[in-house]
């Protein structure tokens, strides 16, 4: 029986083309083999314990570094950053990052006003086109990883209103064959930091 792997997905910013508070949106996927999960969780729980972070709640950088009511003192936050840097450098994971500039999407689609997203179902769905393209990129990278390593995959996403629907819709289109993932997504380029390789697709 094949062993498994997980794709964890989280987002930063708002993907909707009707939202103009920021033109940038990131969708990040982290791939972890099932056999490595317990070790990684143990490392991370140790870091949480060391810095008195809640063991039962997800880690949110805003709460630790920015929120005036919960943020760590400057010296502790620097130490935590160093510990996390070391942690990420040694754990066996693959990181895939998809980024977009929504202004380029709007320009390509000929959108000059948010009013153009009103009316028909097709116009309304156009607002979420970037999210669908981006999540498909991650699914393609994950499918390629699973095929290469002969693994069975599961996808776990941080729940967010609106994003959940688009993610599931994209997955459904991929599963029914509307999107060909047989050879994976070729738009990713491998990048190198000092300690970890990761993959990035910049959609323009």
* Digit-coded pLDDT (tens) for 100-143: 888 887 888 787 777 777 777 776 677 777 888 888 888 888 88
**Residue 71 maps to a domain:** no
Q: Which residue segment(s) compose the domain that 161 sits in?
A: 4-36+93-203
Position 136 in a domain: yes
* Number of separate domains in the chain: 1
Whether residue 66 lies inside any domain: the answer is: no
Task: Give helix then strand counts, H and E, for the chain.
Answer: 7, 6
* Residue whose C-alpha is closest to residue 92's, from 27, 5, 155: 5
Return the axis-axis angle of helices 129-149 and 163-175, rounded to nearest 10°. Answer: 50
Q: What is the tens place of the pLDDT at every residue in 163-199?
A: 567 777 777 777 666 555 444 444 444 444 444 544 4
Answer whether residue 76 is part of any domain: no
Instruction: Give the per-residue pLDDT at 176.
Output: 65
Entry pTM = 0.76
| Predicted confidence (pLDDT) at residue 154 exceeds the cutoff of 70 | yes
């Amino acid at each position: 029986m094949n062993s498994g792997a997980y794709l964890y997905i989280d987002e930063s910013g708002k993907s909707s083309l009707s939202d103009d508070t920021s033109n940038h949106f990131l969708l990040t996927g982290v791939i972890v083999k099932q056999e490595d999960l317990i070790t990684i969780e143990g490392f991370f729980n140790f870091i949480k314990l060391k810095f008195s972070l809640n063991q039962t709640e997800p880690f949110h950088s805003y709460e630790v570094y920015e929120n005036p009511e919960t943020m760590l003192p400057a010296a502790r936050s620097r130490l935590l950053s160093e510990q996390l840097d070391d942690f990420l450098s040694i754990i066996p994971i693959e990181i895939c990052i998809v980024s977009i500039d929504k202004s380029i999407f709007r320009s390509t689609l000929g959108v000059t006003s948010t009013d153009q997203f009103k009316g028909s179902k097709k116009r309304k769905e156009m607002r979420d086109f970037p999210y669908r393209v981006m999540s498909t990129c991650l699914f393609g990278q994950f499918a390629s990883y699973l095929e290469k390593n002969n693994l069975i995959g599961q996808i776990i996403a941080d729940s967010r209103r609106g994003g959940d629907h688009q993610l599931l819709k994209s997955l459904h289109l991929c599963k029914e064959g509307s999107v060909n993932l047989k050879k994976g997504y070729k738009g990713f380029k491998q990048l190198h930091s000092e300690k970890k390789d990761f993959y990035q697709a910049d959609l323009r």
